[in-house]
Structures are given as structure tokens and as C-alpha cells.
Amino acid sequence: MANVVVVGSQWGDEGKGKIVDWLSSRADVVVRFQGGHNAGHTLVVGGEVYKLSLLPSGVVRPGKLSVIGNGVVVDPWALLAEIERIGQQGVKITPETLLIAENAALILPVHPAVDKAREALKGKAKIGTTGRGIGPAYEDKVARRAVRMCDLADAEVLKAKVEALLEYHNAQLTGLGAETLDPAEVLAQLQEVAPKVLPFMGVVWQKLDEMRRAGKRILFEGAQGAMLDVDQGTYPYVTSSNTIAAQAATGSGMGPGALGQILGITKAYTTRVGSGPFPTELTDEIGELLGARGKEFGVVTGRKRRCGWFDAVLVRQSVKVNGITAIALTKLDVLDELDELRICVGYKYKGEVIQHLPALARAQEEVEPVYEVHEGWKSSTYGARSWADLPAQAIKYVKRIEELIEAPVGLLSTSPERDDTILVRDPFED
């Protein structure tokens, strides 16, 4: 029996929420392994809409264990607010249903302060971050000065760490012309929050090992997408974590052999939120139409997403760097009204056609997409539940995508509703 890793294969917002929810109904454990509350997953279960940022999607399903792994950066206040918010929707979260790694690094109030102050100074060159302090928190982790979950349990260590951390960041905030933070105040805030989050803390690697040995099904829930990966993405316009599948091992404390199938969630066109290169971006009325039909607004920040044609070069790159074994293709119905569609099959760069997105930022801005044109199907695919429900041109489009990206479609999602899915291969059974 396989475990399953779900990752985004583009720039995030591929519609992971619905697929993860469907898979989590069949899993025993759902694990977040990177990112923080910059992620936004929308789940529609029984007509009720849940918007999650930090909590694994399994929390809305009774009887599942949800795990926040060591690779996640945890804002304890955002965590409690989310627990409270979904508690009001009738979902009760207890230490029996949520486990947070003792070695996860924390996001403290100083991190969003630094994040926002830096972005404000960058002007046009800004990354367009979510302002949640994700980048600065990961920097502290790698610089070996982060406050971690386990530090909340030791008053003496916590005090020393907070003082050292703020000494470092206050110098930076002063340089950025922003307000500094008072270490005593931050410490008091942490002391207040500690008893509320510590009951969720535990030894994640050990628990996961136990569950694996007991034959439980583990679902690893990625956030963002491969092109936002700090190594493989459109650097520096990326998030500060590894978003690709291999991180599921590093960010949870399981060996890579435990990962199983790797499902890449892939939108039938492309979107991106925030700044950075986007070769197939459409700034015309077709881009507007995709945004409107696809309701392309960020879950976390409410920002309008940039929209463009499907980029097979970029998704194939993503298939390779993730080791994607199948994709789940989402939002095909958004394309229903188009007369014709385009798929990017190469990039023109310095007079040649290339088959990868180069690492050089300037090259990423300069590449020109080479398109293949497809006839539109001009009929509804919304809610289709079998291949037979799809128009021939739509099937042709999907088959061409499979061929170009060198990965099969394992699932096709045709509306936000859970049952509107065409299942080709069950990743848990593969």
C-alpha cells in the first residue's frame, strides 16, 4: 500500500484543497511538511466551505490524525486563531487529532515586521510575499537562531533566545526605518501562548514511523508549487522553503522510501500570484476571462492572480524535479468557452528554441513561449464524472498535455464539488 505526496506543479493555487480533501478521506494521517500560514487551501465538504492556512486538510474529517512537521514554520497565534475559527464551524481540534513537531521553528511577531519592512523598501523589485514572515522565519532557522516549539517549554532558554533574536532583528528594523520590538513584550506574549500550543507538541518522526509500521495510510500535503521552490523555482521570486516532493521526507522526519506516489496538482491553464517571471501570462481579455471564470483570487491575501496559457515546458520540468508519478488536472471547465486554446511547447531564447526554464532570472523574463494551437470545445465540461461526459476536443487537450509533460493524468477534477472527479488511477492503490 502506497503513501501519497501531493504537491503543486506550477506556482501554487492549483486546486490542491479539493484533491487533498478527497485523498484525506481515504488516509489515516495528513502531514504538512513545509511552508506556513502563507498557504491557502479551500475545502468544500458537505456544502460547508473551510479555508485553511496552516492546519493540514485532514482536520475537517473526524478520526484522522493531522500532523505539522518540522519543515513547517509555525506562527502560534495564527495557529490558535485558525483552530478557533474552524472550531466555530463545528470542527473540534484536540491534542489527539493534531500533532506539531517539537523541532518546528516558530514565526514570531518580528518576522512579519521584517518581511513587510523589506518589501516596502524594495518598491518595484518586491517579491510580493504574503507578508506573513515566512522568509525571515526560515532565515532564522538556517542561521541557527530560531525559537522552536520545544523552546516554549523551557523558560530560561526561551528568554535567552528571544533576547538574542531581537537584538539581531531590531538592528535590522532600525536600518530599514521600521519600529523595533521590545524583547520583554515578545517574551510575555510567548509565555502567554505557550501553554495553549504545547499540548499539541510531540515527536513527529516517531509517531509517523509507528503509523507506517502499523500499515496506516499517510498523506503528505504540500503547499505552494514547484516553481515557488527555493531551489527549483523562479528564484528569487519564490517562497523560502522547498516545496517539492522530496521535502515531504525532510520536513516530516521520514525516510524518502516512505513517500510512495507523488501526485502533482496541475491547473489546466497557469496562474501566479505575486511578482516574478511568467512566460505564458495573458494581459488581455482572455487573461481576464480565465481570472473571472476561474475565480482567481488568493485565499490568504485576496490578491488577484495573474493568468495565462498552459505551459507544458514548465510542468514537465516540475514533473522531473518532483518525481511526479501522476497529475491531477484541475479547472478544465474554466476553458469551456474559448474558441481556441494554446499550449506552450518550447521557449524561444536568444534565437533558439529551448525545452527548459533557465535558472538565470533575466533569461526567465526574456524567454518567449512557442505555442501550439488547439481548437476549443465550446461546451460544458463542468461536473463531468467520466471520460464519456467530456467533449472530444477536451479529451484531445488533456491527452496532449499528458504527452508533453511525460506524466499521466491520474485524476481529473471538473468542479469544486468532491464527487465531480474522474478517477483514472487511485494513488493509494498504485
Residue in this structure with the C-alpha cell 520536513, named with its chain if needed: 251
State which residue, 128 or 202, has the beta carbon closest to ligand IMP.
128
Question: What's the N-to-C CA distance of the chain in angstroms?
Answer: 8
> CB-wise, 112 or 346, nearer to ligand IMP?
112
Q: Which residues of this chain interact with ligand IMP, rule CB under 6 A?
A: 12-13, 38-40, 127-130, 132, 134-135, 223-224, 228, 237, 239-240, 273-274
Residue matched to cell numbers 522530496: 246
Which residue number, 74 or 208, has a Cβ lying nearer to ligand IMP?
Answer: 74
Rg (CA), the chain: 22
Residue number of the CB atom closest to ligand IMP: 274
For ligand IMP, the closer CB: 33 or 349:
33
Q: Grid coordinates 482572455 are at which residue? A: 286
Q: Which helix (H) or strand (E) holds 395?
A: helix 392-405
Gap between the Cα atoms of 287 and 338, Å rounded: 11
Q: How far is CA 266 from CA 183, 195, 413, in A?
A: 44, 40, 10
**Rounded least distance, CB 127 to ligand IMP, Å:** 5
DSSP annotation string for 418-430: TT-EEES--TTT-
Give 285's contacts (C-beta < 8 A, 6+ positions apart).
none
Give min distance, CB of 52 to ligand IMP, in A.
11
C-beta closer to ligand IMP: residue 135 or 260 = 135
> Which of 27, 230 has the CB closer to ligand IMP?
230
Measure the CA–CA gap between 306 and 15, rounded to whole angstroms: 15
**How far apart are CB 299 and ligand IMP at their closest, in Å?**
7
Cell output for 74? 509555525
- Asked about 169 being catalytic, the answer comes back as no
Rounded CA separation 78/189 (Å): 13
Please state the closest distance from residue 32 (CB atom) to ligand IMP, in A: 12
Closest CA to 16 of 279, 266, 237, 251: 266
- Interior CA angle at 136 toward 135 and 140, to 5°? 120
**One of 13, 115, 311, 333 is an active-site residue; which one?**
13
User: With b meaning 16 or more CB within 10 Å and e meaning fewer, what string describes 234-262?
Assistant: bbebbbbbbbbbbbbbebbbbeeebbbbb
Q: How far is the CB of 77 from ligand IMP (least distance, A)?
A: 17
Distance CA 357, CA 355 (A): 7
H and E: helices and strands count for the chain:
12, 20
Catalytic, 41? Answer yes
Shortest distance, position 206 Cβ to ligand IMP, whole Å = 29
The secondary structure element, H or E, covering residue 42 is strand 41-45
- The whole-angstrom separation of Cα 69 and Cα 72 is 6
Residue closer to ligand IMP, measured from CB, 134 or 152: 134
- Least gap, CB of 18 to ligand IMP (angstroms): 15
Nearer to ligand IMP, 129 or 252 (CB): 129
Q: Per the structure block, which three cell numbers stand in for 217?
A: 495510510
Please tell me which residue in 41, 111, 169, 374 is annotated as part of the active site: 41
- What residues are labeled active site? 13, 41
